[in-house]
Amino acid sequence: MEDIRYPGENCLDSNEILVNEGARSFMDLSVWKKAHSFVVDIYLVTKNFPKDELYGLTSQLRRAAVSIPANIAEGFGRLSSAEKMRFYNISQASLNEVKYYLILSSDLNYADTTGLVDRLNEIGKILDSYIKRIKENPM
């Protein structure tokens, strides 16, 4: 299986933002790859959070982060543009939730989240472009 982690990769090239064109699996989508890599890194960072946050911020941050690529994957499998959009919008909402948790984590001095926020912003831009293309070219 191909390594799907792309830490620090910059991919805002519009040629790489595909709307299921040529993608045979959600794992072929660059937005999913970046979101998945982000989740893996969230798990690594939150391992160092205080133990008393295990059922608080750690759990909430991990859950919200996992929701981003999970909803991209679920949306990929939907047949209509409206169904796809519903799941991609949930992914966007989870992205905003994660952004807040990263701000909070930084404010509590649990971690330096600057790099994670930058990556999250990049994922958001790709997801926004993906959604825009679906709106412009409905199925």
**16 in any annotated domain:** no
Computed over every residue of the chain, the mean pLDDT equals 87
**91 in any annotated domain:** yes
Residue 38: name the closest of 131, 133, 110, 113 by CA.
Answer: 113
Q: Is residue 71 within 8 Å of 88, Cβ to Cβ?
A: yes
101 confidence band (pLDDT: 50, 70, 90): very high
Q: What is the CATH number of the domain that holds 120?
A: 1.20.1440.60
Distance, CA of 48 to CA of 101 (rounded, Å): 15
- Say how many domains are in the chain: 1
**3 in any annotated domain:** no
Residue range(s) defining the domain that contains residue 101: 26-136
Distance, CA of 3 to CA of 97 (rounded, Å): 27
**80 in any annotated domain:** yes
**21 in any annotated domain:** no
11 confidence band (pLDDT: 50, 70, 90): very low
- 1 by DSSP, 3-state: which? coil
**8 in any annotated domain:** no
What does the pLDDT look like over 12-50, one tens digit per residue? 333 334 444 567 899 999 999 999 999 999 999 999 999
